[in-house]
């Protein structure tokens, strides 16, 4: 407990910043900007403390903090990090600081509100990565949409309303499906013998569900995550959102938000539904491969820089998904590393595109050309980031991609071959773009007057590039952080779970959370062995408890009819009780 609430500090520090911002006069824009940046840097520094205190060889959750929240429903404030989420937390705090610094000049209207949105967004994203309670996770997951909605909708481009609505509704639709899945899990977990009505993710890992149930629940979660990733064919919100979002919005969107989808797969879909995961591996691998190739091909012909990068994200995230669904240690570790890589390199790409956009107010590739002569420093940065995105060895992209491919190759050669051909395409579309923007002669007069990067812009880019090179040359610290957690995750996926007791009525084990709030009623009813509970319902006693429980049984039985004949009895009993 010596590390008490360090995670919470990281998560809610931005909120404190919001509180401070509210006290600043909105006309003092410079102060607002500096304050926000200071808060984000502080958050990053505190998150580094997480890394310092993190024990590499412990696979489970660390810095765990648990407090009752909505006790009656078994909802907790339950947070913690493991190797997988730690990296993403660091990425989030890092990129948010970068993004805020990058918007010093880009944002000229509603500065205070903008900064508040950025900080709220940071809290939301961090919450997603550390939440270990399903309801808490869901709250952060959906809550994070709101500041993003405003970021695109208020500070975006000409079609921002269309884009932001599409983004919001699309992700929301997926999220709602996930909510259904969460509630179903709640009742399935609580309804099993000795089960507990809780949203505690770690306790749900022990759930042993029949395959059919797993399949449906997996789909409910996977659709939400796949939209967020986005996997083909759920990707079309991404180009629109990216094109319309302000630079910092794009950076966060590409850098962190998309990772929430892949993270969701790792944290929820895979370990909760191991058999369904294996059942769906071919489907998702193929979707990932289609995404890789499709994203690359479509990216190639985009006339708009941001759209090009957006489609390239589809391709890169395809690699991540392929690695994850390889279900080998190299694949998953590569996938996680590639999440970080993509956050860095695509984030940097968006930063660079934003910088050039600020100068020229266009993102069309054809409006550029010959920039290398005019702004050499910018070109150098752009080149390095482009190469990182291509996956050039020695830079970060390669390590992730190669691990993914190696991991995939072990399980399916065809997947690896197809995915590797995506590496060729990446070179094609990125270099073609680079050539059209940077090489050749200056054809537009406006380009001749471009100014090179300012000191602030260099300061924005250099940290990102440092990481890009660092991961490329010495990825060991990053891989080592994830190794233990990934091993545990894979063990979860590969071993079929057996419940501690056989299914059916055995004496219940009293649990702690049954003692609080309106919990006891629910809990008591749930502790009755199934058959007896049905009979009791018929006599019409304990109607309140039964009503709540029977709703759960319905949800459960709808999902698990074939495998659980006894649930139909429950249903009949419940109806008589009404």
Q: Site residues (CB under 8 A) for other proteins?
A: 166, 169-170, 233, 235-237, 294, 297-298, 300-302, 328-330, 333-334, 370, 372-373, 387, 392-394, 398-399, 402-403, 405-407, 409-410, 413, 416-417, 420-421, 423-424, 427-428, 431-432, 435, 438-441, 473-476, 479-480, 483, 487
What is the C-alpha separation between 231 and 236, in angstroms, rounded?
Answer: 10
Nearer to other proteins, 126 or 395 (CB): 395
In whole angstroms, the minimum distance from the beta carbon of 93 to other proteins comes to 25
Nearer to other proteins, 203 or 373 (CB): 373
- State in Å, rounded, how far the first CA of the chain is from the last one: 48
- Cβ pair 126, 144 in contact under 8 A: no
Query: What tokens appear for 357 in the block?
Result: 């956009």
Q: 175 Cβ partners below 8 Å, 6+ apart?
A: 138, 141, 142, 145, 224
- Annotate 399-433 with b (16+ C-beta within 10 A) or e (fewer): bbbbbbbbbbbeebeebbebbeebbebbbebbeeb
Tokens 């260099």 correspond to 458
What is the C-alpha separation between 34 and 18, in angstroms, rounded?
Answer: 13
In whole angstroms, the minimum distance from the beta carbon of 465 to other proteins comes to 13
Nearer to other proteins, 16 or 297 (CB): 297
Q: 195 Cβ partners below 8 Å, 6+ apart?
A: 188, 189, 526
Q: Is 27 exposed, middle or buried (0-12, 13-18, 19+ CB in 10 A)?
A: exposed
In whole angstroms, the minimum distance from the beta carbon of 102 to other proteins comes to 23
Nearer to other proteins, 103 or 285 (CB): 285
In whole angstroms, the minimum distance from the beta carbon of 111 to other proteins comes to 33
Residue 133 has a CB neighbour count (10 Å cut-off) of 22
In whole angstroms, the minimum distance from the beta carbon of 560 to other proteins comes to 29
CA separation (Å) from 279 to 412, 490, 494?
A: 15, 15, 12
Angle at 236 between CA 233 and CA 242, to 5 degrees: 140
In whole angstroms, the minimum distance from the beta carbon of 459 to other proteins comes to 16
Nearer to other proteins, 12 or 432 (CB): 432
In whole angstroms, the minimum distance from the beta carbon of 440 to other proteins comes to 6
Nearer to other proteins, 97 or 365 (CB): 365
In whole angstroms, the minimum distance from the beta carbon of 263 to other proteins comes to 18
Nearer to other proteins, 43 or 412 (CB): 412
**Rounded to an integer, what is the distance from CA 154 to the centroid of its chain?**
23
In whole angstroms, the minimum distance from the beta carbon of 383 to other proteins comes to 8
Nearer to other proteins, 218 or 398 (CB): 398
Nearer to other proteins, 2 or 451 (CB): 451
Containing 177, the helix (H) or strand (E) segment is helix 160-191
Instruction: Give the three-class secondary structure for 390.
Output: helix
């Amino acid at each position: 407990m010596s590390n008490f609430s360090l995670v919470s500090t990281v998560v809610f520090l931005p909120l404190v910043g919001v509180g401070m911002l509210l006290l600043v006069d909105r006309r003092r824009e410079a102060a607002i900007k500096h304050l926000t940046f200071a808060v984000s840097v502080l958050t990053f520094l505190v998150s580094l403390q997480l890394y310092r205190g993190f024990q590499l060889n412990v696979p489970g959750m660390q810095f765990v903090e648990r407090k009752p929240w909505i006790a009656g429903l078994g909802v907790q404030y339950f947070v913690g990090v493991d190797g997988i989420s730690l990296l993403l937390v660091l990425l989030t705090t890092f990129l948010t600081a970068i993004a805020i610094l990058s918007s010093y000049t880009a944002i000229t209207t509603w500065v205070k509100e903008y900064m508040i949105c950025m900080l709220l967004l940071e809290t939301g994203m961090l919450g997603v990565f550390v939440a270990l309670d399903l309801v808490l996770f869901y709250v952060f997951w959906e809550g994070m949409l709101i500041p993003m909605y405003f970021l695109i909708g208020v500070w975006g481009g000409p079609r921002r309303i269309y884009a932001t609505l599409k983004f919001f509704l699309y992700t929301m639709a997926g999220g709602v499906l996930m909510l259904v899945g969460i509630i179903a899990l709640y009742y399935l977990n609580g309804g099993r013998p000795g089960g507990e009505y809780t949203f505690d993710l770690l306790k749900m890992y022990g759930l042993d569900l029949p395959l059919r149930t797993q399949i449906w629940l997996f789909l409910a979660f996977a659709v939400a995550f796949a939209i967020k990733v986005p996997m083909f064919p759920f990707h079309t919100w991404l180009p629109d959102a990216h094109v319309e979002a302000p630079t910092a919005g794009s950076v966060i969107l590409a850098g962190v938000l998309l990772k929430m989808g892949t993270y969701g797969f790792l944290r929820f879909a895979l370990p909760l539904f191991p058999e369904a995961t294996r059942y769906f591996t071919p489907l998702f691998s193929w979707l990932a491969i289609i995404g890789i190739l499709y994203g690359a091909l479509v990216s190639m012909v985009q006339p708009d820089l941001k759209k090009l990068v957006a489609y390239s994200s589809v391709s890169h995230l395809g690699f991540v998904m392929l690695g994850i669904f390889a279900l080998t240690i190299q694949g998953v570790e590569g996938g996680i590393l590639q999440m970080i890589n993509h956050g860095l390199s695509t984030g940097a790409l968006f930063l660079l595109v934003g910088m050039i956009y600020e100068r020229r107010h266009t993102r069309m590739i054809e409006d550029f050309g010959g920039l290398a002569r005019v702004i050499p420093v910018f070109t150098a940065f752009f080149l390095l980031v482009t190469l990182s995105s291509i996956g050039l060895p020695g830079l970060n992209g390669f390590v992730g991609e190669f691990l993914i491919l190696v991991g995939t190759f072990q399980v399916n050669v065809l997947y690896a071959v197809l995915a590797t051909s995506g590496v060729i395409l990446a070179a094609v579309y990125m270099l073609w773009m680079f050539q059209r923007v940077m090489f050749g002669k200056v054809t537009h007069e406006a380009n001749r007057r471009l100014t090179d990067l300012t000191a602030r812009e260099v300061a924005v880019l250099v940290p990102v590039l440092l990481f890009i090179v660092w991961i490329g040359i010495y990825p060991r610290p990053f891989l080592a952080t994830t190794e233990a957690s990934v091993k545990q995750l894979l063990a979860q996926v590969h071993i079929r779970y057996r419940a501690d007791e056989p299914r059916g009525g055995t004496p219940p084990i009293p649990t702690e959370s049954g003692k609080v709030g309106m919990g006891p009623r629910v809990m008591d009813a749930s502790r009755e062995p199934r058959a007896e509970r049905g009979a009791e319902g018929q006599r019409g006693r304990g109607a309140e408890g039964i009503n709540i429980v029977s709703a759960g049984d319905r949800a459960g039985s709808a999902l698990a009819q074939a495998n659980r004949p006894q649930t139909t009895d429950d249903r009949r009993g419940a109806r008589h009780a009404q």
